[in-house]
Chain A
Amino acid sequence: MSRATHPVSPEELMAYLDGELALGRARECAVHLEQCADCQSLASDLRLVGLQMNAWQVESAPESLKASITAAIERHQGASPRTKGVWHFLTKPLPRGAVWATAGVAGLVAVILLYESSRVVTHSAPAVSSSLVEVSAPPVPLPQPGENSQTANTPSAPMIARTASLSMVVKDLEQSRAALDGILRRHGGYAAQLQSEAPEGQGRTLTATLRIPAGQLDLVLAEVKKLGRVERESQGGEEVTAQYVDLNARLSNARNTEQRLVEVLNQRTGKMADILAVENEIARVRGEIEQMEAERQGLEHRVAYSELQVELKEEYKAALEVAPPSEGAQLWNSFVDGLRVAADSLLGFVQILASCAPTLLLWGLILFWPARWLWRRRRVGAGAKTSV
């Protein structure tokens, strides 16, 4: 891949991930990293290498080997006031800057282990340089995954913020709530939020956001599920390793910058304005550091405490269903319906009448006299004819 267009060299990108880049440059790097797929892939490669190196472990040595090593050490050093130290060395990571004697012993261990194991990537080479002896020696004290082997920048295992949600129907809400409290207490969790509702015409509900220590989540889930019938369940996990590593890198960069600024402040005897400018800068960087630390703690908390959303619904006691009616009852029902229809139609007729009555009355009054006059004239006319 061509890197001609990248504002950041691959080495700089690596230094950024290691928290070894100056703050200004680190910011450019962070911005570029967000946009550039090539660099993202390189960064993930680098992180992977770090993670894998930290996860490496050598299979535990057989007891006989330990015995022979102890014997060799005793031969090597005469009487053994150091034996305890050697065991300490075998089980714990070698502290930085170990004494030369330990380095020599460690070299011996490395040689023996090299014969024992057929690993491809070995840590010991034919003495590269004198300063390397203490480094190349110990394949034994490689950090174990479970151990406290988190380095400043690379967590040994992927960090995953787990979430789960449960929706359940329970018989008795009060009882379930008490049980839920008991579960929380037993597993060292706590309720971040809890809400209870009792709407009319529906069952009561309880929604809660619980925080459970990550290792206990599965146990808690199993216990909560026993409270009732599970309607819906979902689980998820967000991998935050990359976010965490980036944050650590930025934090480390900011700390370096702060240190340099403090040094500048201590050494320079410049103009007042310069000193003030440096102090302002220090205040700004410290603010950034605090913000990032809070962010990091939040992230760690999310990983350490899984989030569990619980929704408990009380079984709603709906109105009792009536058994299907018998034939007689059906007939009676139809008759009653018929009566009701008849009454309705009568009422409708009366209503129509009532609504039309004023109009009819009005026209009746208006047309009464002419009609009567016409009627009489016809009767008179008819009487005249008959009399003629």
Chain B
Amino acid sequence: MDSDAREVLLLREYEQLSYAEIATLLRLPVNTVRSRLFRARMALKELLVAEPGKA
């Protein structure tokens, strides 16, 4: 997973920030936040599918 996507995912899942808050924090457009978050979740899903035991 690339670091940009991971950053957004962590802010969302563990810090529970809204898309808008993440966008403000990282100085990014909300749509970019959204697409990065989607990318991160899909990548994470692939990881989970590949190695379910390690999750």
Contact = CB atoms under 8 A, between A and B. Distances in A.
A221 B38 CA distance: 45
B13 A128 contact: no
A15 B34 contact: yes
A45 B45 contact: yes
Contact of A11 (B3, B10, B34): B34
Contacts of B55: 52, 56, 120-121
Interface residues of A, number: 30
A125 interface: yes
Contacts, number: 67
A123 interface: yes
A135 B17 CA distance: 11
A121 B7 contact: no
Given A10-B38, A11-B35, A120 B47 contact: yes
Contacts of B41: 14, 46, 49
Nearest to B27: A131
A151 interface: yes
Contacts of A10: 38
Contact of A128 (B7, B14, B19): B7
Given A14-B37, A125-B6, 17 more contacts: A11-B35, A15-B34, A20-B19, A45-B45, A48-B45, A49-B44, A52-B55, A56-B55, A120-B55, A121-B54, A128-B3, A128-B6, A128-B7, A129-B7, A135-B10, A142-B14, A152-B16
23 contacts: A14-B38, A15-B19, A18-B12, A20-B18, A20-B19, A20-B34, A48-B48, A49-B41, A52-B55, A56-B55, A96-B17, A120-B47, A120-B55, A121-B44, A121-B55, A123-B10, A125-B3, A125-B6, A131-B25, A131-B26, A135-B7, A135-B11, A152-B16
